[in-house]
């Protein structure tokens, strides 16, 4: 029988955590529910334990740190992750889990942005930020994911055990999506009816600081996964400025046979050298990235074979 784990990262969600556990137990009675408490001070962990969840603690602050511990410690065939703030309805959980267990997807996103998110969410900058991040990632990585930042997802065991968690905070959602896209995992999306937090429940997401972290993560992953496009863009910019510097120098040289703008010549040549260095750096790193992805695929195949042998035994 396939095992299912419901993962709930929590930080000060005493107002809603028991309802969330009750709702997911009702739709997934066969699942084990894990609540990972991230230094809550309002009794969240105690309330979760009273509701029957398996409570564990992550003392490094940040959602990325919590997910790292979840993925390392919990063993299951399907993982369903949701938030403890009661913003994601449990009604879609069974459908999301079914897609994973039937091997029709490696990740199933609960898509808020195609449903009620913009009507329910009361923080307009979050709306703008979600759309901006989605459009930016879809353009850079040539994909069509509708909700990048959703906290409601189902995962296959293969994805969970092979995904290297590097982020510490809320930017983890962006990192997961880009990793899945670049490693050719199957992503499915189901529209879910998002509802705003109940009165008295406070969002832990800081629009400015967490938004900047997300943008830095996109920048970093663009450089790491598509180095030729990244450094090629830099090379093109350096080349453009080099040409602009060299045009007046060459014009005067052909007209008079002299180079009176010697500093401009030095700057132009330096920018040209930078353009060449950026171009070849991107070319070399692109090969390295392809080799890294190939190695990841080989390790995943090896992991699948070991898992199958364990099942047969």
| 257 and 188 share one domain | no
Mean pLDDT score across all residues of the chain: 89
The interaxial angle of helices 172-182 and 124-140, nearest 10 deg, is 20
| 70 and 216 share one domain | yes
Cβ distance 157 to 2 under 8 Å?
A: no
Q: What is the phi-psi region of residue 304: left when phi exceeds 0, alpha when psi lies from -120 to 50, beta otherwise? A: alpha
Domain boundary among 175, 206, 225: 225
pLDDT, residue 234, reads 96
| 102 and 189 share one domain | yes
Per-residue pLDDT of 38-51, as tens digits, reads 999 999 999 999 99
Per the structure, the complete domain to which residue 274 belongs is given by 227-312
Domain boundary among 225, 258, 274: 225
Least confident window among 81-85, 149-153, 259-263: 259-263
Q: What is the pTM of this model?
A: 0.82
| 258 and 181 share one domain | no
pLDDT, residue 213, reads 84
| 170 and 245 share one domain | no
In the chain, pLDDT over 90 holds for what percent of residues?
64
| 187 and 241 share one domain | no
| 246 and 212 share one domain | no
Nearest residue to 19 via CA among 194, 191, 197, 203: 197
- Let me know the angle formed at the C-alpha of 183 by 181 and 186, rounded to the nearest 5 degrees: 60
pLDDT, residue 280, reads 95
Check which CATH number belongs to the domain holding 171 and give it: 3.90.550.10
| 179 and 208 share one domain | yes
| 247 and 130 share one domain | no
| 157 and 292 share one domain | no
| 124 and 219 share one domain | yes
pLDDT, residue 139, reads 92
pLDDT, residue 294, reads 81
Per-residue pLDDT of 15-41, as tens digits, reads 999 999 999 999 999 999 999 999 999
Domain boundary among 202, 225, 248: 225
CB atoms within 10 A of CB 216: 13
pLDDT, residue 132, reads 87
| 184 and 276 share one domain | no
Q: Give the list of residues 6+ apart from residue 190 with CB closer than 8 angstroms, or none.
A: 92, 95, 96, 108, 109, 110, 111
Per-residue pLDDT of 176-214, as tens digits, reads 999 999 999 999 999 998 887 777 666 666 667 777 888
Q: Give the list of residues 6+ apart from residue 272 with CB closer than 8 angstroms, or none.
A: 238, 239, 242, 246
| Count of structural domains, the chain | 2
Per-residue pLDDT of 69-118, as tens digits, reads 999 999 999 999 999 999 999 999 999 999 999 999 999 999 998 887 77
């Amino acid at each position: 029988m396939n095992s299912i784990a419901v993962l709930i990262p929590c930080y000060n969600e005493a107002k809603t955590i028991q309802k969330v556990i009750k709702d997911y137990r009702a739709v997934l009675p066969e699942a084990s529910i894990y609540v990972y408490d991230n230094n809550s001070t309002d009794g969240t962990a105690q309330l979760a334990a009273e509701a029957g969840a398996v409570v564990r603690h992550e003392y490094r602050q940040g959602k990325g740190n919590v997910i790292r511990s979840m993925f390392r410690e919990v063993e299951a065939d399907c993982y369903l992750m949701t938030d403890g703030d009661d913003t994601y309805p449990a009604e879609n959980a069974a459908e999301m889990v079914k897609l994973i267990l039937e091997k029709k997807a490696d990740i199933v996103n609960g898509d808020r942005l195609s449903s009620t998110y913009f009507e329910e969410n009361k923080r307009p900058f979050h709306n703008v930020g979600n759309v901006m991040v989605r459009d930016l990632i879809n353009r850079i990585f040539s994909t069509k994911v509708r909700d990048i930042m959703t906290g409601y997802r189902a995962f296959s065991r293969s994805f969970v055990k092979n995904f290297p968690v590097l982020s510490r905070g809320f930017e983890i959602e962006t990192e997961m999506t880009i990793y899945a896209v670049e490693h050719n995992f199957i992503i499915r999306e189901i529209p879910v009816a998002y509802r705003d937090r109940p009165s008295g429940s406070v969002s832990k997401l800081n629009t400015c600081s967490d938004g900047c972290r997300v943008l830095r993560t996109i920048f970093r992953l663009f450089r790491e996964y598509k180095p030729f496009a990244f450094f090629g863009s830099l090379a093109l910019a350096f080349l453009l400025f080099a040409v602009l510097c060299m045009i007046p120098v060459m014009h005067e040289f052909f007209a008079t046979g002299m180079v009176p703008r010697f500093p401009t010549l030095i700057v132009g040549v330096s920018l040209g050298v930078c353009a060449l260095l950026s171009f070849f750096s991107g070319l070399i790193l692109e090969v390295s990235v392809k080799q890294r992805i190939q190695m990841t695929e080989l390790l995943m195949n090896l992991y699948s074979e070991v898992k199958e042998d364990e099942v047969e035994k």
